[in-house]
């Protein structure tokens, strides 16, 4: 049981880090995309593509 609790805490901490990373990528982006790849219900990859717009 203790191992399961530790694993959940580590997973929860990791989830928090992932969401913070995603929020930061969005905040840093003026125009573009943030693509989140999910496998087996878990985020495994986050990609950004920046676009430059000229008016």
- pLDDT tier at 1, thresholds 50, 70, 90: low
The predicted-structure confidence for 22-48, as pLDDT tens digits, reads as follows: 999 999 999 999 999 999 999 999 999
Q: How far is CA 40 from the centre of its chain?
A: 15
What residues does 23 pair with on adjacent strands?
A: none
Q: Are 45 and 37 in contact (CB under 8 A)?
A: yes
Whether pTM exceeds 0.85: no
3-state secondary structure of 38: strand
Q: Are 48 and 32 in contact (CB under 8 A)?
A: yes
Segment (H or E) for 6:
helix 2-27
Q: Are 16 and 30 in contact (CB under 8 A)?
A: no
Q: What is the mean pLDDT of the chain?
A: 86
Mean pLDDT of 1-29: 78
């Amino acid at each position: 049981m203790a191992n399961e609790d530790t694993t959940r805490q580590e997973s929860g901490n990791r989830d928090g880090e992932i969401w913070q990373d995603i929020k930061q990528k969005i905040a840093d982006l003026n125009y573009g995309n943030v693509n989140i790849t999910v496998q087996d219900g878990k985020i495994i990859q986050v990609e950004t593509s920046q676009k430059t717009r000229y008016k």
